């Protein structure tokens, strides 16, 4: 449990940001006495690498990342030379003030000065500050979710005490406090070092706080400054050193079909220039040139929906890796399984044995790794019952053993089924994920991960270590089928007013799971690089993540913003 609640305080207004995860802050309150003066503005810091935190040491076992270069270096530097604050957003009451022929940052009102950096993880920030009067906040690992107050740690100087607190949404929690005073109208040094969950705070070179947050530590974000009403603080010589990520590869927009959900994107396993995307309500869309151009490919698909009955509600699509000419597609909000045997050019309806009609949505297919006649379909069954925010739904797994000529139900339960994965070493073993972010479970708590060891005839829950049972994505390691990654997210996982999500991993076929990452931004996908299985990617609705892992040691290395 989080520690003592300390009440509600002033909160920075939400800004319109793209990257949004966590918020850290320091409150520097009022002015005390009896601390020696230190370097004057304009005098820069001498970096001694012998004092670098542990996360900056070189690890010979760290795998190479073909997409991201990771190194320690200067992330940000600002001394306001020439009276410029390029790239900064200065709120009311903030300006550059000329003092003794040197420009410094000056704040006097309850607004922020923000250099607009958000995607830092572990770093050390140093700067000079002077208290003229009142109170001021320095925020680090700072970011905000639009429409939400965000999360942060912050140091609060109050009546001679320096208190480290944590904010999650509208809730504040005190973590630790130490005695503290600093002298008014003199320049001082502040240094904060972030090493994973550990926070160190130095004031005039004296270590005042050394704290490790073991309960959902906040992980990343930029810096900003904030004064409070009736206050006046000055800042200068801001430097940030830390892990620097340079992306080797770049994203290219390929266009794609207009409108719809774009639920599944599939690439031909032998010819990567051939791609499919299901784009309800435009049906199946196919590209022959790697995504530069797209064309609808719906010949034989008879299902129609919408007010004018011209929508083609194809929702999911799977390519048979045994024979890529075989492609399976399923409909949304109506009964319809379609099979193509010519690479998605024409389609045949194959849903005999499916019991539902307009209440069923097909979420995904799993094809036996060596027998194309054996296929499983994961489904969502509408109930019409409204949940906290979305409909409460049930789910079924259907199985065919004759290439889709007939289907039968082999599992039904209180949450939708999305992914069905075969153990490619032992196809009698299968896994299925249940739940997604925008549907609620009929039983309210979710179902989690399912496993079958008899070829999909019977299924059991395998949730040892999984706290959140809405598993929106499930991925199997390409070299070891006992290693799986899962993401959990749903509006039913609300905590402190926000949605909590997590990434889980099992290395023993689901007998136990470990939580790699928990946060308050939706994590919708986790996937493993096929060319370098040590490279793991995850994404949410607002940013993209990557991590490097050595499964043999269980270690996860930072890349981008994910650290496990």
Mean pLDDT of 249-274: 79
- Are the C-beta atoms of 217 and 51 separated by less than 8 Å? no
Q: Flag whether pLDDT at 355 surpasses 50.
A: yes
Q: What is the percentage of the chain residues whose pLDDT exceeds 90?
A: 51
pLDDT at residue 38, as a whole number: 38
Mean pLDDT of 469-497: 84
Q: What is the percentage of the chain residues whose pLDDT exceeds 70?
A: 77
Q: How confident is the model at residue 519 (pLDDT cuts 50, 70, 90)?
A: low
Q: How confident is the model at residue 128 (pLDDT cuts 50, 70, 90)?
A: very high
Where are the domains positioned within the chain?
26-247
pLDDT at residue 356, as a whole number: 97
How many CB atoms sit inside 10 A of residue 473's CB?
23
- Are the C-beta atoms of 483 and 456 separated by less than 8 Å? no
Report, in angstroms and rounded to the nearest whole number, the Rg of the chain calculated over CA atoms.
Answer: 27
pLDDT digits (tens, 9 = 90+) for 180-197: 877 888 999 999 999 988
Mean pLDDT of 349-370: 97
Q: How confident is the model at residue 65 (pLDDT cuts 50, 70, 90)?
A: low
Q: How confident is the model at residue 502 (pLDDT cuts 50, 70, 90)?
A: confident
Instruction: Provide the strand spans (E) within 36-88.
Output: 68-78
Residue 142 or 119, more confident: 142
Nearest CA to 221 out of 380, 372, 24 is that of 24
How many CB atoms sit inside 10 A of residue 56's CB?
17
Q: How confident is the model at residue 481 (pLDDT cuts 50, 70, 90)?
A: very high
pLDDT at residue 66, as a whole number: 61
Residues 6 or more apart whose CB falls under 8 angstroms from that of 477 comprise 483, 484, 485, 528, 533, 551
Nearest CA to 437 out of 518, 356, 494 is that of 494
pLDDT at residue 499, as a whole number: 54
Q: How confident is the model at residue 547 (pLDDT cuts 50, 70, 90)?
A: low
CATH number for 26-247 (one of 3.90.1150.10, 2.40.430.10, 2.60.120.560, 3.30.470.30): it is 2.60.120.560
Q: How confident is the model at residue 545 (pLDDT cuts 50, 70, 90)?
A: low
Nearest CA to 81 out of 42, 125, 108 is that of 42
pLDDT at residue 256, as a whole number: 62
Residue 67 or 91, more confident: 91
Residue 421 or 150, more confident: 421
Q: What is the mean pLDDT of the chain?
A: 81
Q: Flag whether pLDDT at 482 surpasses 90.
A: yes
Tell me the range of 77-81, 160-164, 258-262 where mean pLDDT is highest. 77-81
User: What is d(CA 305, CA 114) in angstroms, rounded to the nearest whole number?
Assistant: 49
pLDDT at residue 435, as a whole number: 95
Least confident of 128-132, 142-146, 296-300, 429-433: 142-146
């Amino acid at each position: 449990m989080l520690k003592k609640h300390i009440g509600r305080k002033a909160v920075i207004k939400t800004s319109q940001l793209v990257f949004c995860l966590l918020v850290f802050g320091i409150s520097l309150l009022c002015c005390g006495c009896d601390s020696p003066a230190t370097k004057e503005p304009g005098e820069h810091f001498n970096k001694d690498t012998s004092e670098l935190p542990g996360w900056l040491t070189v690890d010979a076992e760290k795998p190479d990342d073909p997409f991201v270069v990771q190194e320690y270096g200067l992330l940000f530097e600002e001394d306001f030379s020439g009276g410029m604050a390029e790239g900064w957003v200065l709120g009311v009451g903030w300006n550059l003030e000329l003092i003794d022929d040197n420009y410094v940052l000056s704040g006097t009102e309850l607004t922020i000065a923000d250099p607009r950096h958000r995607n830092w993880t572990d770093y050390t920030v140093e700067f000079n500050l002077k208290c003229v009067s009142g109170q001021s906040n320095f925020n680090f690992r700072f970011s905000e979710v639009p429409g939400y107050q965000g999360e942060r740690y912050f140091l609060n100087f109050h009546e001679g005490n320096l208190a480290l607190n944590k904010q999650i949404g509208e809730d504040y929690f005190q973590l630790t406090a130490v005695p503290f005073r600093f002298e008014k109208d003199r320049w001082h040094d502040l240094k904060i070092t972030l090493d994973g969950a550990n926070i160190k705070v130095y004031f005039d070179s004296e270590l005042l706080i050394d704290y490790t947050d073991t309960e959902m530590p906040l992980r990343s974000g930029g810096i900003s400054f904030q004064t409070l009403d009736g206050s006046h603080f000055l800042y200068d010589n801001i430097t940030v050193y830390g892990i620097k990520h340079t992306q080797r590869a770049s994203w290219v927009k390929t266009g794609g079909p207009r409108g719809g959900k774009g639920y599944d994107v599939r690439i031909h396993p032998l010819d990567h220039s051939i791609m499919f995307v299901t784009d309800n309500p435009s049906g199946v869309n196919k590209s022959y040139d790697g995504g530069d151009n797209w064309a609808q490919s719906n010949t034989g698909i008879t299902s129609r929906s919408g007010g004018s009955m011209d929508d083609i509600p194809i929702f999911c699509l799977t390519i048979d890796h045994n024979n890529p000419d075989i492609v399976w597609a399923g409909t949304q909000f109506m009964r319809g399984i379609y099979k193509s045997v010519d690479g998605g050019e024409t389609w045949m309806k194959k849903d005999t044995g499916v019991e539902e009609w307009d209440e069923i949505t097909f979420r995904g297919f799993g094809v036996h790794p060596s027998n194309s006649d054996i296929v499983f379909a994961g489904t969502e069954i509408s109930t019409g019952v409204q949940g906290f925010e979305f409909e409460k739904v049930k789910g079924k797994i259907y199985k065919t053993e004759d290439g889709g000529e007939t289907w039968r139900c082999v599992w039904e339960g209180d949450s939708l089924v999305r992914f069905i994965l075969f153990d490619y070493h032992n196809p009698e073993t299968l896994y299925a994920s249940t739940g997604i972010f925008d549907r609620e479970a009929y039983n309210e708590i979710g179902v989690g991960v399912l496993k079958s060891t008899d070829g999909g005839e019977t299924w059991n829950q395998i949730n040892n270590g999984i706290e959140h049972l809405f598993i929106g994505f499930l991925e199997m390691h390409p070299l070891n089928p006992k290693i799986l990654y899962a993401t959990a997210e749903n509006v039913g996982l609300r905590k402190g007013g926000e949605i909590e999500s997590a990434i889980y991993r099992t290395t023993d076929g689901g007998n136990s799971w470990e939580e790699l990452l928990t946060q308050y931004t939706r994590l919708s996908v986790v996937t493993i690089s096929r060319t370098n299985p040590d490279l793991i990617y995850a994404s949410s609705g607002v940013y993209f993540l990557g991590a490097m892992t050595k499964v043999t040691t269980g270690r996860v290395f930072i890349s981008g913003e994910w650290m496990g």
